[in-house]
Amino acid sequence: FPWFGSGVWLQGGCRFEAEVAGSTPSDPDSMKATWIYYPYSATGLIVQGARASAVAAKRMDPLDSIRMVNPPAAPSVSGTFTSYTNNYILTGGSHSLNSFRVRAVFLPQLFTKNFEVRGGATVTLNTGTYEVYGSWVLRDSRIIINGDVKFVINPNLALTGLDWQNSSVEINPNSTFEIYNGYSMDVRNCWVGPRKQYICNNVAIDGDPHKKNWFAQFTSDDCYPVAPTSPQYMEPWRVRVYPMRQFLSSFFLWDIRDTSIVGSLFLPTNPIRLFGRTQVYGRVAANHLLIYDAASFFYDHALDLVTGFTEGRAPSRGGDPEDMFPSRIVSYGFNAEAAR
């Protein structure tokens, strides 16, 4: 549809692929793979192009809204925690951590102190709040989230809050992970998703086979003879990435390259850019979402009635509006190839 300075602009090479669920014979739109919503107060929406007939333009109900809320305020460490006044660096080995703060004694807003995990280390973050005045640097390592973890990266002279490469962040069952990121983000060749532990042929295996395939470490067995194309299912609301409210600026970017993420990304005033073979499973709320190369975004309709990103009720995707998830695509979670 025409470009008026806001909305959605699709350039050559973009495509929507979806498996339609919950279709209603009396509603032709329910058979269309893609729905684009416009506000109740608007007069309409024009969809143009060769495949315009496959897109449904849907007017939202008066109670529906896609207006984004203000980011939540970041928490601070409290109670019992460990304080580090120099860079906190872990290299190799296994480590189990509880709440900490990494901050310079003098002018912490100016003197950067990082939390760095390197060299094949495995670090378990247990329930609590963690605070860094600098960057969280992650290289060739593994993070395990155990419990309800909040991680705050306060901006100072380090303009990149999250600086991750060649690493995984794995969420234990019934755990949650919230990140409050100051300034920019640079995540490359990483994997964020559920921690899967299972028994196959009496052998205990730790790690999602999709994660292993992502890092070219997959070997077939009787449980997974073929590498899966998507992670094992986890509710995307269990991973939430927010900006620091007081440092919102369109100058900063969140860049995600060649990375698989199950989670929710919220950046209401800034661009999020997906590059390479990146796969995001869940939801994104941003000023701009720029998708390049072979990157993909898979929206999970299980999030339709999960509040926290927009001020009103999310619009229904067809089916019975009283049904909690009227058109959620589920096999074991959902099929990424079908839901792309």
pLDDT of residue 60: 80
Flag whether pLDDT at 3 surpasses 70. Answer: no
Q: How far is CA 101 from CA 104, 136, 149, 175, 290, in A?
A: 10, 12, 14, 21, 34
Which DSSP category does 111 fall into? S
What are the two backbone dihedrals, phi and then psi, of residue 94, each rounded to the nearest 5 degrees? -115, 140
Question: Is 67 exposed, middle or buried (CB count within 10 Å of its CB: 0-12, 13-18, 19+)?
Answer: exposed
pLDDT confidence bin for 39, thresholds 50/70/90: confident
Beta bridge partners of 228: none
Other residues' Cβ atoms within 10 Å of the Cβ of residue 105: 10
pLDDT confidence bin for 334, thresholds 50/70/90: very low
pLDDT of residue 41: 82
pLDDT of residue 28: 78
pLDDT confidence bin for 22, thresholds 50/70/90: low
Give mean pLDDT, residues 248-277: 88
pLDDT of residue 153: 93
Higher pLDDT, 5 or 188: 188
Instruction: Indicate the domain borders of the chain.
Output: 82-305
pLDDT, tens digit (0-9, with 9 covering 90-100), for 102-147: 998 887 667 789 999 999 999 999 999 999 999 999 999 999 999 9
Separation of alpha carbons 118 and 109, rounded Å: 25
pLDDT, tens digit (0-9, with 9 covering 90-100), for 161-170: 999 999 999 9
Q: How far is CA 21 from CA 87, 296, 315, 322, in A?
A: 51, 20, 16, 16
